A and B are shown apart, each in its own frame.
Chain A
Amino acid sequence: MNLKLIVIFLLMLCLGSFALAETNTVNKDSTAVDSIAPPAPVTMFKAFDTPNDHGHSITLNWQLSADDGAGQNSVLQYQIYRWVPYLMDSLTTLRKAMTTVKEEEIKRGHEKVLKKEMRSLKKEYNAVLKELPSAHKAYPNNGYWKEVGKVPAGTKSYKNTGSKEKESQDYLPDLTDFYYRVDAVTKDSTVRASSKVFGPVQCSGQWFNTGRIPVLVAVILFTFLTIYFVEKAKNGAKLYVRPLSGIEAVDDAIGRATEMGRPILYILGLGSVADIATIASFTILSRVAKQVAEYQTELLVPTYDPLVMAVAQEVVKSAYLDAGRPDDYKEDTVHFVTQSQFAYVAAVNGIMLRELPATNIYMGVFFAESLILAETGALAGSIQIAGTDQIAQIPFFIVACDYTLIGEELYAASAYLGREPLLLGSLKAQDYAKALVIILAIIGLIMSNFGWTQFTDLFKVAN
């Protein structure tokens, strides 16, 4: 019985192995790569200098291969090749050598030997760079095709953008002859079709960005409006400007501080001197400081940025001088605190709770600290006036402050405070520009709803 079982088992094993062998054969056949016919190459291939840029970039356009999304539907991607002379490899070697020397310099310090070596390497590198244009002209000799990028099937263009830094490995020299080709590649990367070679093509920087013509027109128009209204104001025309409660409150707030014998706290925000909101804030600070000097009230200006501090010191000093009280100016009126956002908040909150200022004025660029500052000020019982161009912070200031200048009102504040005809003239120009924007927006809205996009296309700005 047992023998019978063993024989049957062995027989089954043999049959099984045959069956397995059969299956394997089938599997082997199924995994074999189907022979793919080469795809059709891309057509209408052309390369040209990328417009409106600083150079070092070539744009390539083509029509899809007949087998991309149609025909055999075998194209998976397009590989872009640029012909490079062997001289480029010499550059890579020299670049590597320079990197090694730099690393040595970091380790060993600036030794004379290393400096000398670096100088000679740089000299050699520059000499090779000079030979690059002539080496490219030698196409197709002494060079090879190098893959510079790839895009998925269905893509009709590619921008070969290199670096402008001569020591970068992506350096793409201007005014040099380049040759390109595009390969339509199937899932078997050896089965591909190359386009015709396009070249020579050169890249160079442009002197005018035509994509920004709408901005230029707007700037010229606005400049014209500003100059026109400023001249009008100079000639004595009376210009009406809508009163802003936040600005009118500044005078009262300074008066209140004087009556209470408490200081005025002026916060310039976290912006740098390069921010227009901070520049506008300097102007307001100048007016406030002048009035403060006249009333002989104390002014506190803790700053976040040392550069802002230096400018603010000059602004306040000049305001005291203009008010005829240069002796009352103290160097520490404007002082630096820290460049850490929340450490600055802690310091300013400390000042609020210790000094209990009668008035807090927040003008400039504010971020997450706006509400912490304004709420602490409200708890300290100060009158608070705020102005910022940071949209996300405006609601916080509206809630926690007594008066808030919303967005552009911050920029208009200096004109309101000074009431100078020249500044009021520029405000009028701003209002007219706004009216023009509203009219254009309405026209654009109507046109877009009718599907006439030509009008809105006029205002498109390229980067």
Chain B
Amino acid sequence: MKRQIPFALVFIFGFFTIFQYFVPHESSEWVYEFLLDWILIIGIFALALGIWSLWRVSIDKINNRRPNWGYSYVTLAGLFLMIIFGFTAKNGDSWGYYFPFVIAVLLVIIMLIQTIKAKGQSKILYIGLALLFLIISILIGYFDKSWSIHFSTSEGLKNTMFQDFFDYILIPILSTMFSLLAFFIASAAYRAFRARNVLATILLVAALIVMLRFNFYLPGAEYFARTSTWLMNVPNLAANRAIVIGIGLGVVATALKVILGIERGYMGKG
């Protein structure tokens, strides 16, 4: 029964999705959109599971002093800082005691981490400290009117701290990671274009022609441009389409296998 119900659900919804493709009627669209909404709902619950998983892995690293365990503190600090910033907003010109509040909340989290690891007397000490910092943060939150907590509105997303951390810390870091791609392309190209055999030499020559098409100062630039256009539009496109047809058939075959219950690996029943 435990196995049959999921397969029955996959069969019903899988066939409905195929059916829906051929039925443009509003009622069929309505059911399809309703099902898509469920993906969002399940996704939000899964996000909570994801954050829990991240917390567990980071705590495990810190507690067992795994290599580079210190970075786990940075991960958790980043996670909780952005949560705090995203749910709070300034009311006037001054931040008041906002930053002591943020530090107090972070200290509560650090103390909780230490509590998990600690034993005996020190465990009680850390619990006490966590409670102390929690009380401090609650008191600041209650009496300080220069900022407020917003759970049900998007006010927190306009918080300058939230935006600044995003714009001036996260975006540059992500851009740096992305820019690494340029160097990796160079090293990968070096490996790919070594003329070890006939096929690799053909690849090298084709790549050179395609690369040189952008150099208009080169003698015979027009020839390179025409040849590279032919390379891109004829052999390259032909191979591309062959792969696309294969992928299309593979997708349909896999979908059918899943719907008909032939393929069960995705449920761990391989």
Any A CB within 8 A of the CB of B198: no
Of A174, A286, A338, A391, which contacts B268 at CB under 8 A?
A: A286
- The A-contacting residues of B in range 235-270, CB under 8 angstroms, are 240, 243-247, 249-258, 260, 262-263, 265-270
Any A CB within 8 A of the CB of B218: no
Q: How far is the CA of A114 from the CA of B205 in the complex (A)?
A: 72
**Which one of B20-28, B123-131, B208-216 is at the interface?**
B20-28
Do A306 and B24 have beta carbons less than 8 Å apart? Answer: no
A residues near B191, Cβ cutoff 8 Å: 399-400
The answer to whether residues A306 and B174 also contact, given A212-B22, A375-B184, A437-B245 and a CB cut-off of 8 A, is no
Q: How many A-B residue pairs have CB under 8 A?
A: 215
Any A CB within 8 A of the CB of B197: no
Q: From residue B174, how far is it (CB to closest CB) to chain A in Å?
A: 4
How would residues 10 to 51 of chain B score, 1 for a CB under 8 Å from any chain A CB and 0 otherwise? 000000001001111111010000000001001100111111
Any B CB within 8 A of the CB of A151: no
B-side binding surface: helix, strand, loop or mixed? helix
Q: Which of A310, A408, A414 has the most CB of B within 10 A?
A: A408
B residues near A216, Cβ cutoff 8 Å: 22
B residues near A284, Cβ cutoff 8 Å: 265
A residues near B265, Cβ cutoff 8 Å: 282-287, 315, 414, 418
Q: How far is the CA of A37 from the CA of B60 in the complex (A)?
A: 86
The tally of residues in A whose CB lies under 8 Å from a CB in B reads 91
Q: How far is the CA of A429 from the CA of B253 in the complex (A)?
A: 8
Q: How far is the CA of A342 from the CA of B172 in the complex (A)?
A: 11
The answer to whether residues A283 and B53 also contact, given A372-B180, A408-B249 and a CB cut-off of 8 A, is no
Q: How far is the CA of A274 from the CA of B38 in the complex (A)?
A: 12
Any A CB within 8 A of the CB of B181: yes
- The A-contacting residues of B in range 145-159, CB under 8 angstroms, are 153
Do B23 and A318 have beta carbons less than 8 Å apart? Answer: no
The tally of residues in B whose CB lies under 8 Å from a CB in A reads 66
Do B249 and A336 have beta carbons less than 8 Å apart? Answer: no
A residues near B42, Cβ cutoff 8 Å: 307
Of A286, A317, A354, which contacts B270 at CB under 8 A?
A: A286
Do A407 and B266 have beta carbons less than 8 Å apart? Answer: no
B residues near A375, Cβ cutoff 8 Å: 184, 187-188
Do A279 and B23 have beta carbons less than 8 Å apart? Answer: no
Do B178 and A342 have beta carbons less than 8 Å apart? Answer: yes
Q: From residue B153, how far is it (CB to closest CB) to chain A in Å?
A: 8
Any B CB within 8 A of the CB of A371: yes
A residues near B68, Cβ cutoff 8 Å: 350, 354
B residues near A391, Cβ cutoff 8 Å: 240, 243-244, 247
How would residues 195 to 231 of chain A score, 1 for a CB under 8 Å from any chain B CB and 0 otherwise? 0000000000111110010011001001100110010
Q: How far is the CA of A331 from the CA of B52 in the complex (A)?
A: 12
- The B-contacting residues of A in range 37-83, CB under 8 angstroms, are 52-55
Of A206, A287, A336, A433, which contacts B53 at CB under 8 A?
A: A336
Any B CB within 8 A of the CB of A423: yes
Q: How far is the CA of A174 from the CA of B47 in the complex (A)?
A: 40
Do A371 and B188 have beta carbons less than 8 Å apart? Answer: yes
A residues near B26, Cβ cutoff 8 Å: 54-55, 164, 174, 205
| Residues of chain A having any CB pair with chain B under 8 Å | 52-55, 106, 164, 174, 205-209, 212, 215-216, 219, 222-223, 226-227, 230, 274, 276, 279-280, 282-287, 290, 303, 305-307, 309-311, 314-319, 321-322, 331-332, 335-343, 345-346, 350, 354, 368, 371-372, 375, 389, 391, 394-396, 398-400, 406-408, 410-412, 414, 418, 422-423, 426-427, 429-430, 433-434, 437
6 smallest CB-CB distances across A and B, nearest first, come from: A318-B268, A283-B265, A306-B50, A408-B250, A411-B250, A336-B50
Between-chain CB contacts (< 8 Å), 13 pairs: A54-B25, A205-B24, A216-B22, A230-B262, A283-B265, A286-B270, A306-B43, A307-B46, A317-B268, A340-B170, A372-B177, A422-B262, A433-B249
